């Protein structure tokens, strides 16, 4: 399914964010998991969700078609939630249902903490309420080997292995 509209907006620090919209009706905002982008994860669900509402999908900073932030330290859950508010503003949505997968669960919960008046409902899918890197599949492997401050290159996501001495 092709998006009905593709937009760009800027997060609070000016990082450019990619947004795609599908369908009409009550807004349903999709929030990805770690190193996920709109296409591979949501493409099968978007078709069904667009039948019942206006689907707004976006890529986090440093992911997919969104830009890499100037400061790589601004890839925290709090930063993604602040970007989500910018996405809502850019698409003209006052209140939305937020659907989060994996790390997207932390993003939607943090968004609710930061701006509850903008959220109609939360739909967390396969995620945890905190420490996503420590609880990924019930172990701490992701926390030990993935540095979330790493951003993607032009075509692929770069994974950074932390030094065992640090």
Residues linked to residue 100 through DSSP beta bridges, in sequence order = 31, 124
* Res 166: pLDDT: 36
Q: Please, are residues 1 and 14 in contact by the beta-carbon 8 Å criterion?
A: no
Per the domain annotation, does 13 fall within a domain?
A: yes
Q: What CATH code is carried by the domain that includes residue 19?
A: 3.40.50.1820
Q: Which domain holds residue 90?
A: 5-128
* Res 27: pLDDT: 98
Greatest mean pLDDT among 87-91, 98-102, 104-108 lies in: 87-91
Per the domain annotation, does 21 fall within a domain?
A: yes
Distance, in Å, from the CA atom of 162 to the CA atom of 92, rounded to the nearest integer, reads 40
- Average pLDDT estimate for 104-124: 96
Overall domain count for the chain: 1
- Residue % of the chain over a pLDDT of 90: 61
Per the domain annotation, does 74 fall within a domain?
A: yes
59 Cβ partners below 8 Å, 6+ apart? Answer: 17, 18, 32, 37, 38, 65, 66
Crossing angle of the two packed helices 103-114 and 77-90, in degrees rounded to 10: 70
Per the domain annotation, does 158 fall within a domain?
A: no
Per the domain annotation, does 151 fall within a domain?
A: no
Per the domain annotation, does 138 fall within a domain?
A: no
Question: What tokens were used for 136?
Answer: 């990924």
Distance, in Å, from the CA atom of 130 to the CA atom of 109, rounded to the nearest integer, reads 9
Per the domain annotation, does 79 fall within a domain?
A: yes
Q: Residue 133's pLDDT band (boundaries 50, 70, 90)?
A: low
Per the domain annotation, does 141 fall within a domain?
A: no
Q: Please, are residues 122 and 112 in contact by the beta-carbon 8 Å criterion?
A: yes
* Res 72: pLDDT: 86
Distance, in Å, from the CA atom of 157 to the CA atom of 62, rounded to the nearest integer, reads 8
- Average pLDDT estimate for 66-71: 93
Task: Reply yes or no on whether the pLDDT at 128 is more than 90.
Answer: no
């Amino acid at each position: 399914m092709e998006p009905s509209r593709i937009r760009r907006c800027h997060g609070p620090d000016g990082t450019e964010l990619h947004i795609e919209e599908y369908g009409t009706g009550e807004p349903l905002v999709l929030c990805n998991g770690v190193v996920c982008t709109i296409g591979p994860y949501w493409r099968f669900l978007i078709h069904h969700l667009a039948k019942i509402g206006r689907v707004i999908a976006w890529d986090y900073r440093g992911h997919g078609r969104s830009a890499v932030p100037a400061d790589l330290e601004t890839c925290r859950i709090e930063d993604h939630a602040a970007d989500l508010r910018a996405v809502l503003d850019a698409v003209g949505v006052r209140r939305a249902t937020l659907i989060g997968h994996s790390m997207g669960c932390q993003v939607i919960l943090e968004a609710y903490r930061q701006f509850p008046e903008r959220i109609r409902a939360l739909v967390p899918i396969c995620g945890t309420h905190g420490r996503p890197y420590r609880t990924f599949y019930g172990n701490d492997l992701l926390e030990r080997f993935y540095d979330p401050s790493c951003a993607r290159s032009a075509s692929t996501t770069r994974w950074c292995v932390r030094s065992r001495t640090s």
